[in-house]
Amino acid sequence: MTDTGTLAAAFVRTRAEPDFRALYREVAPRAYGLALRLSGGAADDAAEVVQEAWLRAVERIDRYRAGEPFAPWLCGFVVRCWRERCRRRRHAAEVDLDEELIPAEPDGIQNWTIERERLRQAVGDLPNGFRDVLVLHDVEGYTHAEIAELLEVSVGTSKSQLSRARARLRRALTGAAASMEIKSGSEGPHGA
């Protein structure tokens, strides 16, 4: 993996298309992956958000601090563009966790697809703020300080929303599991 700070510094210095292309090739997949998860797997929405984020980042490239990793800086634009899009649309978006975040199907577990879908649904049912913090922290690996800056909230709000998001996920997933056990248990030990 190339150092995105070095690529960004080269683009800032030269403003040359080859330098931009090198930076884009390195950073675009991460930005798109984040937008895709925030948009609930809506590829068209994710692509539009990433395009808008790149436009804004290039317009404000002079504000980029040379030498720092560029990907987190660009992902800040992705998050803000996504949130603006949600506000304009006033709709709740779902998060679609991509395959790299969910382990491959373990041997002996036949209902893995059902479990994966339950997780996607539970994450998608979270309120936007909770989902944003959960995705940024648990999926993307941002710290609470970075999330606070990206979402323009306090560190305490980030921590609180993550805690509440995890609690809601636990309730949703354990509640669904209990309901499945009750349904399967009602048939008796030898089936219906």
Distance of CA 34 to the CA centre of its chain: 4
Within the chain, which residue ranges are assigned CATH 1.10.1740.10? 1-93
Q: What is the mean pLDDT of the chain?
A: 78
As a dihedral over the C-alpha atoms of residue 157, residue 61, residue 23, residue 136, rounded to 10 degrees, the angle is 10
Within the chain, which residue ranges are assigned CATH 1.10.10.10? 101-183
Q: Going by CATH, does the domain composed of 1-93 fall within 1.10.1740.10?
A: yes
The class that CATH gives domain 101-183 is: mainly alpha
Structure confidence by residue, pLDDT tens digits, 42-83: 889 899 999 999 999 999 988 888 878 898 889 999 999 988
- Name the DSSP letter for residue 181: H
Per-residue pLDDT of the chain (192 residues; tens, 9 = 90+): 467 888 888 898 999 999 999 999 999 999 999 998 888 778 898 999 999 999 999 999 888 888 788 988 899 999 999 888 887 765 433 444 444 444 444 444 445 566 777 777 788 788 878 888 888 898 888 899 988 888 888 999 999 999 999 999 889 888 755 554 444 444 444 443
**Phi-psi category of residue 141: left, alpha or beta, with phi > 0 → left and psi -120 to 50 → alpha:** left
Model pLDDT, residue 99: 43
Looking up tokens 């940024």 gives: 136
